[in-house]
A = this chain, B = another copy of it.
Amino acid sequence: MEFGVYTFGDLVTDPHTGTTISAHTRMLQVLDLARKAEASGLDVIGVGEHHGEEFVNSATAIMLTAMASVTSSIRLTSAATLLSTADPVRTYQEFATADLISNGRIELMFGRGAYTDNFPLFGYELTDYDALFLEKLHLFQLLNSQDRVSWSGQFRPPLVDAPIAPRALQPQLPVCIGAVSPASVKRTAEMGYPISIPVLDGKLETYVELATIYKETWRTCGYNETEESISFYGHMYLSEKLEDTYSSFFPNYQNYRLPWTKNRLSRIEFDRLIAPDGALLVGTPEMVAEKISYLRLQTGAKRFVGQIDIGAQTEQIVHRSVELLGTNVRALVNEKCRF
């Protein structure tokens, strides 16, 4: 199984100190995270796209390029790219450029994202979301597989035998789709794309059910079972001592979730989420490895990627979580799963 981390470069106020670091310091932290992830033996690092003041990244291919420049082998993925409000031509050009610079380590995840700031910013209607996503996904597939593209559609000017340059180093940039509603999970399988499922709330078994929908649809459609591909993404914190989860992480996580869920996370809800059947990958390496092993054994998932640098935790604490993921959690999962 592959393990990784992803970041949104969130700019949250640290509840322990009351301070908020600058976008510049946060950017340097994110590059440190990439170095640390590679040094800890992780397989992949991801970056999410946001367009508000609470996050430092709105230009994912640039951050992945910077990460590529301070690492040598870790794979680099968007998590996710908000394709619906982007121009797929620019998106291909940008990630192909990053692929050349990184010696072929780039991947893309396309998805809707947790926020919708990008719709008004780029002049799109949220009601067009599905039509935008499907049209642009199809166009990206053409751009990704042909040096010259002819195409016309509803949301972008047509292309007439247009050269698309530069070409990526990889024959095609690997693409997966981030999806979490049963309908979008099913559609992802129907279209034959690898899936990344965000595991963020509620019960863990819900995500096994989603993966089951994906797998059943994949088989119904007659796709090759060996090409089926499921990844899980989720908030993560690791510490040898369980009490640190409450004293150190919990206040950070409350601050992180506030703009997203609008309600302040209570201790009771937090306890439900970190319980053995809860969806939050937070606690000791043993607790978290148990959950990842469950997901792996139930679904055959190939990759787990944790958002580990959230809520203004110190770099020291974040890097310790990264180390525990790369060593203890990986070893425990490999032992439990043995396949």
Residues of A within 8 A of B (CB): 23-24, 27, 31, 51-53, 55-59, 61-63, 65-66, 68-70, 87, 89-90, 93-94, 97-98, 100-101, 103, 117, 120-124, 147, 156-160, 162-163, 165-167, 169
A97 and B58 within 8 A (CB): yes
B166 and A97 within 8 A (CB): no
A57 and B162 within 8 A (CB): no
A59 and B120 within 8 A (CB): no
A160 and B120 within 8 A (CB): yes
- For the complex, what is the distance from the CA of A123 to the CA of B87, rounded to whole Å? 11
A166 and B69 within 8 A (CB): no
A123 and B158 within 8 A (CB): yes
The smallest C-beta distance from A250 to any residue of chain B, in angstroms, reads 28
The smallest C-beta distance from A114 to any residue of chain B, in angstroms, reads 16
The smallest C-beta distance from A53 to any residue of chain B, in angstroms, reads 5
B156 and A57 within 8 A (CB): no
Contacts of A24 in B (CB 8 A): 100, 103, 169
- Assuming A52-B165, A53-B147, A157-B122, is B59 touching A93 (CB within 8 A)? yes
Contact of A101 among B62, B93, B165 (CB under 8 A): B62
Contact of A166 among B23, B98, B163 (CB under 8 A): B23
Beyond A51-B93, A59-B97, 19 extra complex contacts between A and B, CB < 8 Å = A23-B166, A23-B167, A27-B100, A51-B163, A51-B165, A52-B163, A53-B163, A55-B166, A56-B100, A58-B165, A59-B94, A63-B97, A65-B69, A66-B68, A69-B69, A69-B70, A121-B159, A122-B157, A123-B158
The smallest C-beta distance from A132 to any residue of chain B, in angstroms, reads 14
- For the complex, what is the distance from the CA of A156 to the CA of B166, rounded to whole Å? 26
The smallest C-beta distance from A71 to any residue of chain B, in angstroms, reads 10
Contact of A62 among B62, B157, B158, B165 (CB under 8 A): B62
B27 and A58 within 8 A (CB): no
- Assuming A66-B65, A157-B122, is B117 touching A163 (CB within 8 A)? yes
Contacts of A100 in B (CB 8 A): 23-24, 27, 56
